[in-house]
Structure 1
Amino acid sequence: MQCLHAFVSGRVQGVWFRQSTVDQAIANGLTGWTRNLPDGRVEVMACGDEAGLLLLEAWLSLGPELATVAEVESTRVESDECYSGFDII
């Protein structure tokens, strides 16, 4: 399965970034998870079709209204993991 693994930095914690990521991922038919990291970044693992991954990746560079995204580091990875939904962990 094709997955997007991303780290988003900037003002991305405490601004509804994770919940908005869940909403965007579900709207694009993706599964996976997102979480806050101790260094202030948000980590995202999203799996699904390439079109959905591209849409989510583009959205991550913008984020929700209250966020200020400084950088998105993303890579494509192959995963055998099967996620049943998109969760905040």
Structure 2
Amino acid sequence: MKTYHFIIKGEVQGVGYRITTYLNATRLGITGSVKNLSNDNVEVFAQGDEKIIDNFRKYLKIGSSMSHVTEVEEDILDRPKFDSFQVIY
């Protein structure tokens, strides 16, 4: 299974971005994780059907009502399968 790796840049920490990402991922049936990085970006790993990932990607670009996403970097990695979607603190 493909693992999509996203780095989200902009005003994405301290504005509800991770919980919004978690809610969208679980609603869509995506597994993976989301966490804040020390450089003020957010990192997301996502596994799921390619069409569902396409929808999820749109949510990542929007973020929460208080966030401001300026860039979403993406690549595909080989990783073990995730069992659920987690917010990493």
Cα RMSD of the aligned pairs, angstroms, is 0.9
- Quote the Cα distance in structure 2 between the aligned partners of 1:84 and 1:15: 27
Structure 1: 5+ residue stretches without partners: none
Superposition map of 1:55-70 within 5 A: 55-70=55-70
Alpha-carbon distance, 1:43 to partner: 0.2
Q: TM-score, structure 2 length as denominator?
A: 0.93
- Quote the Cα distance in structure 2 between the aligned partners of 1:5 and 1:74: 6
Provide the residue aligned with 1:83 in structure 2: 82
- In the alignment of these two chains, the number of paired residues is 88
Matched to 1:18, the amino acid is R
- Quote the Cα distance in structure 1 between the aligned partners of 2:45 and 2:24: 13
Alpha-carbon distance, 1:78 to partner: 3.3
Q: TM-score, structure 1 length as denominator?
A: 0.93
Alpha-carbon distance, 1:61 to partner: 0.8
Matched to 1:84, the amino acid is D
Alpha-carbon distance, 1:82 to partner: 1.9
Identical positions, percent: 34
